[in-house]
Homo-oligomer: A and B are copies of this chain.
Amino acid sequence: MPAPAFNPVTPDDLNQLRRILGAEAVSTAHADLDLHARDQSHHPERPAEVIVWPAEAAQVADVLRFANQRRIPVTAWGVGTGLEGNAIPVYGGILMSFERMTRIVAVHADDFQVTVQPGIGHKDLNDQLTRYGLFFPPDPGANASVGGMLANNASGIRTVKYGATKDNVLRMQVALADGRLLNLGARSVKQASGYDLLHLFVGSEGTLGVITEATLRLVPVPQFMSAALAAFETVEAAVETVVAVRGSGLDPAALELIDAAHARMLREAEGVDLTDHPTLFMEFHAAHEESLQMGLDIVKQICEEMGAVSFRATTDIAERKKLWHARHHSYEIMVRSHPDKRFFINDVAVPISAYPELIGFVEQLKRQHGISAYMIGHAGDGNVHVEFPFVDEDEYRLRMEINAQIVAKALELGGTSTGEHGVGIGKIRYMQQEHGPALDVMRAIKQTLDPNGILNPGKIFPEPEPM
C-alpha cells in the first residue's frame, strides 16, 4: 500500500463543511486545533487543519462523503484520553469531534441496555444510569467517550469479570467513508444473521468507519461489594497468587497488581497507606452479603498460603473507596510525581498461566539494563503495563528496544502486543510480527471499505512515516 496522497483543506472546502454543519460547528482556530492535537500518550502532537463538530449521524455521513470525494483525511475524536496516539490526526485534514453528540438516545431498562450517541463519557453515562440501578461496566480509568472506547475496544479494571467494551455492545450505527450509514447487530442478545460486522468495526480505531450510535449492554449495580489489599515479598509471589485466585473459581470484579516501586510512589506522593511491596488490589461483587464474606475468607486463605506479608479487606463502602483511590488515580499520580519526564507505557497481555513468566522476564530485563520502571497490571486478565520514564531520544530508544523484547515474549507465550490501548501509532511496528498473513487480510478489508484511505490514516498498518 503506497503512502496515501491527500489534498490540503482549501477555503472552498471550509465553505462546504460550513454548509453541511453550520458555521459554528467548523473551526480553524489555533486554540481549537491545539486542543485536539494530542492524546495522553508520549506521541508528538499534530494539529488537524480543521475541526468539525457534527450534531447528528447524517452530518457525519455527509462530511465523510465530501471528504472522500476530496481525498481529505478524517480522524474521529472522542475526548482525547487515548494512550497510543489513536486519535492524533497525523496526516492533518479534518478532525471530527463528537463533543456535541453526547445524548442518551434511549434507556431500555428492562433489557439492561442503553442506546447512546458516541460522544458521551462512560462516567457521565453511568451517573445518569444510577437511578435505573444499572451500569456500563468497562472502565478504562479516564472519562473516555463511549465512541472512543468502542473504536479502541477499551477495557480496564473491571474486564476480568464483565468483559471488554467489545463484549458489552449489541448494535451500532456506523458511517462509511463513502457516506453510507450502516446498522450493525441487533438489540436481541442472540444474533446469528450474516457476518459479524459489529465486531469488525469495534476496535478498528476509526479506520473502517465512524461510529454514530451504539446500543450497550448494562449490568445491575451489584448489591454488595468488597475490597481487599494483599502485599507480598516478591512480585513472583504476588502473580502466583493471581493465578491461584483465578483458578479458585472465585469471580473477582477487579484483580490488579502494582509493584513495590509503584506502591512507594503512591505512599510518598499521596500518603497512601502502602508498604514497599508488590500489592494486589481486589474487588468482589455479589448479590448476597453471605457470598461476599465467603469469597473474602477464601481469598484471605489463598493470600496467606501464598505468603502475603499483609492482608486487608473491607465490605464498607467508604473504606473500599479509600483503598481503591490510589489505584484509580495511579497514572495521574505517576505523571504528576515526575514533572520532568515523559512516559512510555507498554500494554502486553498473555494467558494468565503465563503471567508469572512474563513478569519475571520484565523484572530480569529491568535488572539487566539497570533502568527503573513502574509496573501496574490488570493482573486478573494477564495484562500488564510497564511504565518507563524517559527524558531524551536515547533513553526512549533503549526503552523501545526493551519493549520489543517484552512484546516478542508475550507473543511467544500466546499473547498480544496490545491488550487494551489499541495499535494507534506506537504498536504498528509489531503488527506484522503478531498477525503475519492475517495483517494482509486486515489491509484488504481496509482497502475494500475505505479505498481512498481517508479514515484515520497512519494507524494500525505499517506505512511510510507521515511527514
A186-B414, A190-B349 given; A247·B110 CB < 8 A: yes
- Judged by a CB distance under 8 angstroms, whether A167 is at the interface is yes
A204-B195, A249-B287 given; A188·B111 CB < 8 A: no
Complex contacts, A383 vs chain B, CB 8 Å = 188, 190
Tell which of B193, B290, B434, B442 touches A435, judged by Cβ atoms closer than 8 Å: B193
Tally of contact residues, A, Cβ under 8 A: 87
A111-B353, A287-B249 given; A192·B442 CB < 8 A: no
Q: Smallest distance from the beta carbon of A413 to chain B beta carbons, Å? A: 8
- Judged by a CB distance under 8 angstroms, whether A427 is at the interface is yes
Residues of A326-377 whose CB lies within 8 A of B? 347, 349-353
Complex contacts, A250 vs chain B, CB 8 Å = 287
Once the chains bind, are B197 and A419 in contact (CB under 8 Å)?
no
- Residue in chain B with minimal CB distance to A115: B414
Residues of A170-186 whose CB lies within 8 A of B? 176, 180-184, 186
- Residue in chain B with minimal CB distance to A431: B194
Cα A152 to Cα B193 in complex, Å, equals 9
Once the chains bind, are B108 and A415 in contact (CB under 8 Å)?
no
Complex contacts, A159 vs chain B, CB 8 Å = 189-190
Complex contacts, A427 vs chain B, CB 8 Å = 193
Once the chains bind, are A192 and B108 in contact (CB under 8 Å)?
no
- Judged by a CB distance under 8 angstroms, whether A166 is at the interface is yes
Once the chains bind, are B352 and A111 in contact (CB under 8 Å)?
yes
Cα A331 to Cα B160 in complex, Å, equals 37
Tell which of B195, B288, B435 touches A194, judged by Cβ atoms closer than 8 Å: B435
Cα A423 to Cα B362 in complex, Å, equals 47
Cα A202 to Cα B290 in complex, Å, equals 40
Once the chains bind, are A382 and B193 in contact (CB under 8 Å)?
no
Tell which of B189, B290, B441 touches A290, judged by Cβ atoms closer than 8 Å: B290
Chain A 41-80 interface 0/1 with B at a Cβ cutoff of 8 Å (1 = within): 0000000000000000000000000000000000000000
Complex contacts, A419 vs chain B, CB 8 Å = 188, 190-192
Q: Smallest distance from the beta carbon of A149 to chain B beta carbons, Å? A: 11
Chain A 147-162 interface 0/1 with B at a Cβ cutoff of 8 Å (1 = within): 0000011110001000
- Judged by a CB distance under 8 angstroms, whether A395 is at the interface is no
- Judged by a CB distance under 8 angstroms, whether A187 is at the interface is yes
Complex contacts, A381 vs chain B, CB 8 Å = 188-190
- Residue in chain B with minimal CB distance to A295: B287
A203-B196, A291-B288 given; A190·B438 CB < 8 A: no
Contact stretch, chosen from A8-16, A116-124, A444-452: A444-452
Tell which of B294, B417, B430, B441 touches A182, judged by Cβ atoms closer than 8 Å: B441
- Judged by a CB distance under 8 angstroms, whether A437 is at the interface is yes
Once the chains bind, are B442 and A190 in contact (CB under 8 Å)?
no
Q: Smallest distance from the beta carbon of A352 to chain B beta carbons, Å? A: 6
Once the chains bind, are B192 and A200 in contact (CB under 8 Å)?
no
Once the chains bind, are B189 and A195 in contact (CB under 8 Å)?
no
Once the chains bind, are B243 and A191 in contact (CB under 8 Å)?
no
- Judged by a CB distance under 8 angstroms, whether A460 is at the interface is yes
Once the chains bind, are A414 and B187 in contact (CB under 8 Å)?
yes
Cα A445 to Cα B436 in complex, Å, equals 19
Once the chains bind, are A193 and B249 in contact (CB under 8 Å)?
no
Tell which of B182, B249, B434 touches A437, judged by Cβ atoms closer than 8 Å: B182
Once the chains bind, are A418 and B192 in contact (CB under 8 Å)?
yes
Once the chains bind, are B420 and A190 in contact (CB under 8 Å)?
yes
Q: Which 9 A-B pairs have the closest CB atoms?
A: A187-B414, A190-B419, A110-B353, A188-B349, A199-B199, A188-B415, A190-B349, A111-B351, A182-B438
A–B Cβ pairs within 8 angstroms, 19 of them: A108-B351, A110-B243, A110-B352, A154-B192, A164-B192, A182-B441, A186-B415, A187-B350, A188-B351, A189-B351, A192-B203, A192-B347, A193-B435, A194-B203, A195-B203, A197-B438, A200-B200, A444-B448, A448-B448
